[in-house]
Amino acid sequence: GQSLEQPSEVTAVEGAIVQINCTYQTSGFYGLSWYQQHDGGAPTFLSYNGLDGLEETGRFSSFLSRSDSYGYLLLQELQMKDSASYFCAVSPGTALIFGKGTTLSVSS
Amino acid sequence: DAGVTQSPTHLIKTRGQQVTLRCSPISGHKSVSWYQQVLGQGPQFIFQYYEKEERGRGNFPDRFSARQFPNYSSELNVNALLLGDSALYLCASSHWDGAPHGYTFGSGTRLTVV
């Protein structure tokens, strides 16, 4: 089966850099993606790191260690609007398997 | 360009009823996937369709079914609704089949079963 572990909550201050970790266990692997979701709205793509390349958007970057089944999302120059839920997701095939999400709270 | 559009945005149904949710993908996207997100959890994969064929199915009962139309829009049907079906139902579209990335999600349909 597949499972993903990520912290339930992370707090940080404006302007800081924050790292959200994700460890995964999957029977197949193509890549690790990261999505942001505000208040139950549409998840929006942040980063993908996998067998066919790397995609990153804006202030968001990611790291992947396939040998350790571990990755993280790095958010730089934090802003209040970055307060949201962040999900890591693995792709063992055509579907995305999501973690339970990390709630990021950014304070001034 | 319009993003992924889903309708309705909210609805309330009674246990035992049936519901149909609709999704229009981004123009040019041929793949549509459906996800269920229960409050406080990550989205859970239900179905993927590509070129009107089912390409993947998650661990959901047969009460859940879907289809994709020639214009690549899609419907998700849920029969015999249970209280536990209350969730945000998300649709995601992408260019091609089997790509593990490049998904764009809609804002979802919030289903409440009473």
Give chain A's largest Cα–Cα span: 42
| Closest approach of B57 to chain A, Cα-based (Å) | 9
- Cβ of B72: how many Cβ atoms within 10 Å? 21
Residues within 8 A of B (CB atoms), A 33-72 only: 33, 35, 40-45, 48, 50, 52, 55
- Cβ of B90: how many Cβ atoms within 10 Å? 28
For residues A107 and A90, what is the distance between their CA atoms, to the nearest angstrom?
30
- Model pLDDT for residues B38-66, shown as the tens digit of each residue: 999 999 999 999 999 999 999 999 999 99
In this complex, do A42 and B90 lie within 8 Å of one another by their Cβ atoms? yes
- Cβ of A81: how many Cβ atoms within 10 Å? 8
| B101: contact with A, CB 8 A cutoff | yes
In this complex, do B100 and A55 lie within 8 Å of one another by their Cβ atoms? no
Local structure of A29: helix, strand or coil: coil
What average pLDDT does chain B have?
A: 94
Cα-trace Rg, chain A: 13
For residues B74 and B91, what is the distance between their CA atoms, to the nearest angstrom?
9
| B5: contact with A, CB 8 A cutoff | no
Mean pLDDT, to the nearest integer, of B78-99? 91
pLDDT band at A45 (very low <50, low <70, confident <90, very high): very high
- Model pLDDT for residues B14-30, shown as the tens digit of each residue: 999 999 999 999 998 99
Q: What is the pLDDT of residue A16?
A: 97
